[in-house]
Amino acid sequence: MHDESSNKSGQSGQSVEPGNPARRNFMKTSALASLAGAAGLALAGCGRKGDQVGTAGPAKAAAAAGELSDHVPPGQLDEYYGFWSGGQSGEVRIVGVPSMRELMRIPVFNPDFTIGWGVTNESKRVLGPNFPPGGDCHHPHMSQTDGHYDGRYIFINDKAHTRVARIRCDVMRTDRITDVPNVQAIHGLRVQRAPRTGYVFANGEFLIPAPNDGRDLDDPKKYQTMFSALDGDTMEVAWQVLVDGNLDNTEADYAGKYAISTCYNSEGGMDLPSTMQAERDWVVVFDIARIEAAVKKGDFKTIGSSKVPVLDGRHGSSFTLYIPIPKNPHGINASPDGKYVVANGKLSPTVTVMEWSRIDDWFAGKLKDPRDTVVAEPELGLGPLHTAYDGRGNGYTTLFIDSQIAKWNIEDAIAAHGGKKVNYLRQKIDVAYQPGHCHSSMGETRDADGKWLVSLNKFSKDRFLPTGPLHPDNDQLIDISGETMKLVADGPVYAEPHDVILLHRRLLIDKVKKSWERDDPFFAETVAMAKRHDINVLADSKVIREGRKVFVYMTSAAPIFGLGSFKVKKGDEVTVVVTNIDAVEDVSHGFCITNYGINMEISPGATASATFTADKAGVFWYYCTFFCHAMHMEMSGRMLVEA
């Protein structure tokens, strides 16, 4: 370990002098105790009371100093889209960067009354018939072509219910959700970068019996987990690979040949102490071509009622490579030059740098020891979790226990690993507090531009006005455009965003639709139903009864609905279909029936529907929930339910 005495800084946002890997003195005791016990990891470093953090000055001062500013004047647009995972809210959030202004939320696994997600028939078709209300989103990633974002889809995991969802980027709506069989708790998720996405890779984290149907409950030796590949176009699970250990995060190379996952619990333990006995765990590399060949040849099995091909990729398999690395690795991040991939040790002060070309050599039989794929193991500090890149050869690694981000040079780390006396550490900067993921602008692609870094910090004590025992998380924006990192802004966020991607606005700004197209598949089934009833949803407002089923069609144009009232009988199954015929951008309508739990948003050009049972007799007003006109309050009507 390096000497710590030279670091006197207690100020968050203060840089540690280049070349000094020291941790802050006040962190020393608690951090070391946490490493020894591991269970105290999340509490390490919380003893800092009253630290004051200065953010960057006004925009003019920043510009004069040659620094990037987070100030976006009124009427101007952010340079980057940020897609934040919504954590336990089950959503994805769109944030402008550098302003850090929240622009929109995309419901995914969560019911959302604002737009009627989980209420409308259109959303229920996506969510499925047995929709569990809620989700735990961690890792949003955009589809790519040849290592570049292509603006088609965002994919996101649900750890709570073992699912993967796809979001259309043209309308920012979730269009597919897939339940992943044979595993439990999808955590790590990444996309195949080349030649395109292609596959979406997803890790099942926890060990379970397979099939998990009540047998083998008391025999952990029969527990297992798998690595899954979904087809990004069909959202079907293409194949799964059985592995040793608990899968954590995953990554893909830039050539389309490999995926790689961090694994902890090489011991196969069922509690905390038993998962920490070994000195090392590993990463496992998946050779995609070999797996595809095995599937084509029929060298697989299926489990239970699932038809997904399952291959045995445990130690000794010809299509997996297990590389031993320091303890309980967490993040795994590929460098944008396509040369390296870095695993972050978590319970080791080091990160492990592996070279893709050496992985090629191992599968070709040119290397005997899996550790020969390792080209560097730089020591950065306590609790390394994730690494981002600037496209200039530097890595930026979050140090959870030290509450810092370390900037280091990859080639210098490789040189030092080879025995040269070279200082690979460029700078450390304090963040507040306990950083998990960090992400750089365009840093998950070949187009990493090295302008911004976002640190997603788990704790925020003393940073914001108190909001009760539950604190917000703290996302911090850091300027990495120069030689030194500079903290620019804090941003409180609702718990708990795990990860983010930052992409330049040029990739999406002309692809995002400002109104719905009439032939959009999202509501095509509802429009087809209307045609069967001889209804033109753009013009007709009428009620159709088929026995105890009632179909209510109406248009909406500010400030009036096409029907001022409609009458049904108690016990009827009622389907209300509303079409927004306003052609003006930004004039969305809502349709809410009081005391019935029905609300849906209808943007320009869209058709939306909701089906419910009229189980209460009386007069129930419906009204527009989006302020669309000076006479918005008068945009209403009555549902009359006969006893």
Domain boundary assignment for the chain: 1-52+330-497, 523-642
d(CA 580, CA 450): 43
d(CA 435, CA 608): 41
- If residue 292 lies in a helix (H) or strand (E), which one and from where to where? helix 288-297
Q: Are strands 384-389 and 374-376 parallel, antiparallel or unpaired?
A: unpaired
Nearest residue to 462 (alpha-carbon basis) of 51, 55, 54: 51
| Structure-block tokens of residue 405 | 């981000």
Helix count (H) and strand count (E) of the chain?
A: 7, 40
d(CA 488, CA 502): 16
- If residue 415 lies in a helix (H) or strand (E), which one and from where to where? helix 410-417
pLDDT at 279: 85
Does pTM top 0.75 for this prediction? yes
- Under a CB-based contact definition with an 8 Å cutoff, are residues 342 and 351 in contact? yes
For 217-242, give one letter per residue: b (16+ CB within 10 A) or e.
eeeeeebbbbbbbbebeebebbbbbb
262-304 pLDDT per residue, tens: 999 988 889 988 888 888 999 999 999 999 999 999 999 999 9
CATH architecture under which domain 1-52+330-497 falls: 7 Propeller (2.130)
Query: What's the mean pLDDT when you consider all of the chain?
Result: 90
- Is the C-alpha dihedral spanning 124, 126, 127, 128 positive or negative? positive
pLDDT at 62: 60
* Eight-state DSSP code of residue 366: -
Q: Is 526 helix (H, G, I), strand (E, B) or coil?
A: helix
Helix residue spans in 439-583 (DSSP H): 524-532
- Under a CB-based contact definition with an 8 Å cutoff, are residues 369 and 382 in contact? no
pLDDT at 61: 55
Domain 523-642 has CATH 1.10.10.10: no
* pLDDT lower than 70: segments of the chain: 1-66
Length of the chain: 643
pLDDT at 515: 95
Nearest residue to 253 (alpha-carbon basis) of 341, 385, 153, 376: 341
| Structure-block tokens of residue 590 | 């809502």
